C-alpha cells in the first residue's frame, strides 16, 4: 500500500507539470502585455521596460517559466497585478464561502442521490424508476444559473422566506450563515444529485443480478437489509468514483453559482481576475484547482482498495 | 463469410458488419416516444434557426429606446429588453448562434480528438507523451480553461467555439485511443497487417469504423454540454460579444432586471433547457443502442 501510494504520487507529478506548462503557455502566448496592463495606457516605453525588468518579463520565456516554477515550489504564488497583494493571501481570504458552498453541495447531493438511486434500482422499470430517470436527465439539462434564478424567484421573491443573495460568515451567527447558503447549495447540487443518483441506480442494478443477492433474499433477509448492506455496499466503488469526480467538477458550477448569488468566494475571484487580466491570480487558481483534481483522483484510487479488498495494487 | 479463404474477406467483414446493423440499431432506437418527442423538438429548433427571419421577428439588434423593458404584448411576444430590443426575435435568432456553437464544438472536438486518439492508440511512442498531455488538460477545470482562453484571446464567435471545444478533446482522445487499442489486437486487423496493408488504409478501413458508434454517442453529449457551456460563459460575461444574440447573451443582459422581469432570463432559459434535454434524451437512447458496454456503466 505505501509503495502504491508513492507510485501514484509520483505519477501525479508529470500531470501537474503538463498543467503548469499549459497554464504558462496560455497566459504568455495570449495577446496582452502584463506590463501595459499594470502601467496603464499612458506609460512611456522606459516605464514599461522598467516594469518588465522588475517582473522578469525581459528574460527569455524558458527562463521565466523556470523562475515561476521555482517560486511555486517555494510556496510563492506571486503577487496580484492589480492590488499588489500576495495571491496566496487573496485566495485564502476567499476560500471560506467557497468551501462552505462545496461541502454543503456535496452533502446535499449525496444525501439525496443515494436513497433516490437505490429506490429507483429497487423499482427498476416501474413508474418510480422512470420518474427518477426522467428527473435526472432534466437535472443536468437545466443550466445552474436558471435553477438558481428559479429558486430566487420562488423562495426569495414570492415566498420571501430566504434572502435573495449575499453571504455571511459563520461567525455572524449560524442562521444568517445557513440562510444565505440554502439557495445556492440547492441550485448547485441539482446537477450532482442527478449525476450521482444515476450512477447509484445503475451500479445497484448491476449488483442486484449477482448470486449473493439471491442468497441473501433466500435466507429471508428483509428487503431493506438486502438493498443497503448487500447491494449498496458492493456498488460502492463506482459510487465513490462519481462522488469524487463530482467534487473535482464542482469548481465550474461554483463560478456560476457564486456569480448568481453574489457570494464573495474563489469563483468570483476567478471572474474578477479574468476580467481584469490579473495573470498571477488566474495562473494560481487554475494550478490550484488542477492540483485539487489530481489529489482527489489519488484519494479515489486509495479508497478503491479500501472499499473492495479484491483490488490490490 | 468467416470461412472464406479470399484474402480480402476478413478485412471487409467488420466494415460490412458495422455499417448496416448500426443503421438498423439507430432506427430501432428512435422508435420510443420520448426519443421521438426529443427529435421533434430538435427539428423544430433547427427550423426556427433556419427560418428565423420569417417567424414574425424583427431585427434582433434593433434598438428602440421608447420600448425599453416592456412586458409581453402582441407586438413583442416575449417583451423587450433594456435596450428596447425584441426578446422573441433575439431568442429565435439566438437559436442560430447557440446551435452553431453546439455543432461547431462537436465537429472540432471530434475531429481533433479522433486524429490525436488514433495517433496515440497506434503509435506506442506518441502514446505516452500524448496521454500525459491529455491527463494534464483533463485536470484543468473545463470552464476555467474556457473562461481564461476567451478572456485572453478576445471574445469572438471563433474563440468561444475553440474555448468550449478544447476541454472536450481529452475525453474524445481517451475514448478513441481505447477503441483503437482494443481493435488493433483483433484478428482481422492482424490479418490486414500481415497482408501488408499500408498504415493509412489500415486505419481508415479497419480501425475507424469501430470508433463511429462511440463517437456518435459522445458527439451528442458534447453538443448538449457545449450549449450549456456557451450559456454559462456568456452569462458570466466571458463569452460571445454581447451584440450577437446568443441564448447565453440574452440571459446575461437581463441579469440586472431579474427581480423586475424574471421572464427575460427564464424564457430563454427554458428554451436552453429544452434543447439540452432533447439532445440528452437522444444521446441516452443512442448510447443504450450503440454501446451496450457503456450503457451498463452509466
pLDDT in tens, A212-261: 888 888 888 888 888 887 888 788 888 888 888 888 788 888 998 998 88
Beta bridge partners of A79: A86
pLDDT, residue B105, reads: 95
Contacts of A290 in chain B (CB under 8 A): 136, 139-141
Choose, out of B91, B132, B148, the residue to mutate when testing the contact with A (most A CBs < 10 Å). B148
- Which of these ranges, A31-35, A199-203, A283-287, A294-298, has the smallest mean pLDDT? A31-35
Residue-averaged pLDDT of chain A: 83
Question: Integer distance in angstroms from the first to the last C-alpha of chain A?
Answer: 7
What does each of the 298 residues of chain B score in pLDDT, given as a tens digit? 344 434 433 333 344 444 567 777 777 767 788 888 888 999 999 988 888 777 666 676 666 666 666 666 666 666 666 666 777 888 888 888 889 999 999 999 999 999 999 888 888 888 888 888 898 888 888 888 888 888 777 778 888 899 899 989 999 998 899 888 888 888 888 888 888 888 888 888 888 888 888 888 889 999 999 999 998 888 888 888 887 888 888 888 877 777 777 877 888 888 899 999 999 998 888 887 776 555 444 4
Q: Do A141 and B266 touch (CB under 8 A)?
A: no
Long-range contacts of A282-285 (CB under 8 A, 24+ apart): A282/A27, A282/B148, A283/A23, A283/A24, A283/A27, A283/A68, A283/A77, A283/A78, A284/A77, A284/A78, A284/A87, A284/A88, A284/A91, A285/A91, A285/B144
C-alpha to C-alpha distance for B193 and B202, rounded to whole angstroms: 7
C-alpha to C-alpha distance for A237 and A239, rounded to whole angstroms: 5
| Residue for grid cell 453571504 | A167
Q: Do A137 and B228 touch (CB under 8 A)?
A: no
C-alpha to C-alpha distance for A57 and A52, rounded to whole angstroms: 5
Render pLDDT for A88-122 as a digit per residue (tens, 0 to 9): 888 888 888 999 899 999 999 999 999 999 889 88
Render pLDDT for B105-153 as a digit per residue (tens, 0 to 9): 999 999 999 999 988 888 888 888 888 889 888 888 888 888 888 877 7
Grid cell, residue B12, equals 471487409
Q: B113 vs A1, B117, B219, CA distance in Å?
A: 35, 6, 11
C-alpha to C-alpha distance for A302 and A308, rounded to whole angstroms: 10
Render pLDDT for A27-84 as a digit per residue (tens, 0 to 9): 776 655 666 666 666 677 777 777 777 767 777 778 888 888 888 888 777 778 777 7
C-alpha to C-alpha distance for B281 and B40, rounded to whole angstroms: 12
Indicate the pTM of the whole model. Answer: 0.83
pLDDT at A210 over 60: yes
Contacts of A293 in chain B (CB under 8 A): 138-141
Contacts of B270 in chain A (CB under 8 A): 146
Question: DSSP of A254-278, one letter per residue?
Answer: HHHHHHHHT--SHHHHHHHHHHHT-
C-alpha to C-alpha distance for A31 and B154, rounded to whole angstroms: 8
Closest CA to B269 of B43, B143, B98: B98
Q: How far is B187 from chain A (nearest CA, A)?
A: 31
Q: Do B135 and A199 touch (CB under 8 A)?
A: no
Q: Average of pLDDT values for A150-172?
A: 80
Grid cell, residue A146, equals 436558471
Phi–psi pair at B41, nearest 5 degrees: -60, -45
Choose, out of B136, B146, B270, the residue to mutate when testing the contact with A (most A CBs < 10 Å). B136
Cβ-based burial of A41 (10 A; exposed 0-12, middle 13-18, buried ≥19): exposed
**Residues A252, A263: contact at Cβ < 8 Å?**
no
pLDDT, residue A111, reads: 94
Q: Do B140 and A286 touch (CB under 8 A)?
A: yes
Contacts of A252 in chain B (CB under 8 A): 141-144, 232
Q: Do B152 and A30 touch (CB under 8 A)?
A: yes
Closest CA to A254 of A280, A301, A294, A289: A289
Q: Do B236 and A256 touch (CB under 8 A)?
A: yes
Amino acid at each position: 500500500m505505501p509503495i502504491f501510494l508513492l507510485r501514484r504520487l509520483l505519477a501525479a507529478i508529470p500531470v501537474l507539470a503538463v498543467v503548469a506548462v499549459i497554464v504558462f503557455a496560455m497566459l504568455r502566448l495570449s495577446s496582452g502585455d502584463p506590463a501595459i496592463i499594470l502601467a496603464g495606457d499612458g506609460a512611456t516605453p522606459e516605464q514599461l521596460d522598467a516594469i518588465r525588468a522588475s517582473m522578469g518579463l525581459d528574460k527569455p520565456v524558458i527562463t521565466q517559466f523556470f523562475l515561476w516554477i521555482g517560486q511555486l515550489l517555494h510556496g510563492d504564488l506571486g503577487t496580484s497585478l492589480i492590488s499588489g497583494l500576495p495571491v496566496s493571501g487573496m485566495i485564502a481570504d476567499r476560500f471560506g464561502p467557497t468551501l462552505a458552498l462545496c461541502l454543503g453541495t456535496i452533502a446535499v447531493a449525496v444525501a439525496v442521490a443515494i436513497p433516490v438511486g437505490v429506490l429507483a434500482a429497487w423499482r427498476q422499470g416501474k413508474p418510480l424508476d422512470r420518474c427518477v430517470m426522467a428527473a435526472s436527465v432534466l437535472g443536468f439539462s437545466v443550466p445552474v444559473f436558471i435553477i438558481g434564478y428559479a429558486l430566487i424567484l420562488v423562495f426569495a421573491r414570492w415566498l420571501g422566506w430566504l434572502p435573495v443573495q449575499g453571504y455571511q460568515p459563520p461567525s455572524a451567527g449560524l442562521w444568517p450563515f445557513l440562510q444565505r447558503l440554502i439557495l445556492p447549495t440547492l441550485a448547485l447540487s441539482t446537477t450532482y444529485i442527478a449525476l450521482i443518483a444515476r450512477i447509484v441506480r445503475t451500479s445497484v442494478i448491476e449488483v442486484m443480478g449477482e448470486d449473493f443477492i439471491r442468497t441473501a433474499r433466500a435466507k429471508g433477509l428483509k428487503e431493506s437489509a438486502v438493498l443497503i448492506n448487500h447491494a449498496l455496499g458492493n456498488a460502492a466503488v463506482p459510487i465513490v468514483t462519481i462522488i469524487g469526480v463530482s467534487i473535482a467538477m464542482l469548481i465550474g458550477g461554483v463560478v456560476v453559482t457564486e456569480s448568481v448569488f453574489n457570494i464573495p468566494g474563489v469563483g468570483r475571484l476567478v471572474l474578477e481576475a479574468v476580467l481584469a487580466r490579473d495573470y498571477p491570480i488566474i495562473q494560481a487558481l487554475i494550478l490550484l484547482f488542477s492540483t485539487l483534481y489530481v489529489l482527489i483522483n489519488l484519494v479515489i484510487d486509495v479508497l478503491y482498495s479500501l472499499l473492495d479488498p479484491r483490488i490490490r495494487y | 463469410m468467416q470461412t472464406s479463404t479470399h484474402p480480402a474477406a476478413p478485412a471487409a467483414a467488420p466494415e460490412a458488419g458495422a455499417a448496416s446493423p448500426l443503421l438498423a440499431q439507430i432506427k430501432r432506437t428512435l422508435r420510443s416516444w420520448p426519443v421521438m418527442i426529443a427529435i421533434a423538438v430538435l427539428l423544430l429548433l433547427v427550423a426556427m434557426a433556419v427560418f428565423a427571419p420569417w417567424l414574425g421577428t424583427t431585427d434582433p439588434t434593433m434598438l428602440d429606446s421608447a420600448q425599453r423593458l416592456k412586458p409581453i404584448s402582441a407586438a413583442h411576444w416575449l417583451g423587450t429588453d433594456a435596450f428596447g430590443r425584441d426578446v422573441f426575435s433575439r431568442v429565435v435568432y439566438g437559436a442560430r448562434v447557440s446551435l452553431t456553437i453546439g455543432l461547431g464544438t462537436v465537429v472540432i472536438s471530434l475531429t481533433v480528438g479522433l486524429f490525436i486518439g488514433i495517433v496515440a492508440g497506434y503509435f506506442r511512442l506518441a502514446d505516452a507523451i500524448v496521454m500525459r498531455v491529455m491527463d494534464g488538460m483533463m485536470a484543468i477545470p473545463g470552464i476555467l480553461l474556457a473562461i481564461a482562453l476567451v478572456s485572453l484571446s478576445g471574445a469572438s464567435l471563433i474563440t468561444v467555439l475553440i474555448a468550449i471545444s478544447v476541454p472536450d478533446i481529452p475525453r474524445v482522445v481517451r475514448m478513441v485511443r481505447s477503441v483503437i487499442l482494443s481493435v488493433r489486437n483483433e484478428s482481422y486487423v492482424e490479418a490486414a497487417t500481415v497482408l501488408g496493408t499500408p498504415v493509412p488504409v489500415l486505419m481508415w478501413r479497419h480501425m475507424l469504423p469501430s470508433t463511429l458508434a462511440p463517437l456518435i454517442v459522445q458527439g451528442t453529449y458534447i453538443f448538449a454540454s457545449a450549449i450549456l457551456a456557451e450559456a454559462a460563459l456568456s452569462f458570466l460575461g466571458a463569452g460571445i460579444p454581447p451584440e450577437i444574440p446568443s441564448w447565453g447573451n440574452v440571459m446575461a443582459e437581463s441579469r440586472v432586471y431579474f427581480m423586475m422581469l424574471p421572464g427575460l432570463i427564464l424564457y430563454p432559459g427554458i428554451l436552453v433547457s429544452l434543447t439540452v434535454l432533447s439532445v440528452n434524451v437522444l444521446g441516452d437512447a443512442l448510447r443504450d443502442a450503440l454501446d451496450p458496454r457503456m450503457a451498463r456503466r452509466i
